Amino acid sequence: MAISKSTLSKPVQSPAEHESFRAKAFREKPSEETAEGFLEAGNFVWNSGMFFYTINSFLRAVEATQPLAYGITLAISNAFKEGNDEEAKRLFEMLPNVSIDYAVMERSEEVFVLRANFPWDDVGAWDAMARSREQDSKGNVTEGRVLLAESTTASHSA
């Protein structure tokens, strides 16, 4: 995500050590040329991909930016309430295959940035397991009850 620092608002009601700002725009995975321009300009901030919402504010954002997905989401909720798991599954498969970044964040007018400095790793990939968990003597990372046979430098979960 790239957000122009020059277009951030004044701090929004937050402690001085954790200033938050309203972003003018959110850009997910800009082209290489655009990203180079962002770096050269020097007035953009980058996002690690963590989004924080209350359930109500998230649903409002989805309703505003993805009305079809919002309607399907409500229908899924109703199907679960009625105990109709098959209908919920059928409806789920109708949802657009698009990430929150493109579906909501790039279209939202309610994006705020909180500057923070802490260790972070994208644990959405298997190789991140080796960076975030203890490895055995052969470089394996396991989670749960796992039986390994001639396995090296792998991540396993049960």
pLDDT tens column, 125-151:
777 777 878 888 888 888 888 887 887
pLDDT at 4 over 50: no
**Residue 60 in 3-state DSSP?**
helix
Residue 9: the pLDDT is 52
Mean per-residue pLDDT, 51-65: 92
Confidence of residue 155 (pLDDT cuts 50, 70, 90): low
E-assigned strand segments in 72-111: none
For residue 85, pLDDT over 60 is answered with yes
Tokens of 59: 């649903």
Mean pLDDT for the stretch of residues 80-85: 96
Of residues 119 and 52, more confidently modeled: 52
What average pLDDT does range 54-80 have in this prediction? 95
Give me the domains of the chain, ranges plus CATH numbers. Answer: 2-120 (3.90.550.10), 122-158 (no CATH)
Nearest to 46 by CA among 91, 10, 1: 1
Decide the pairing of beta strands 112-114 and 20-22.
Answer: antiparallel
pLDDT average, residue stretch 22-32: 87
Confidence at residue 5, expressed as pLDDT on a 0 to 100 scale: 46
Beta pairing, strands 2-4 & 44-46: antiparallel
Q: What is the mean pLDDT of residues 79-88?
A: 96
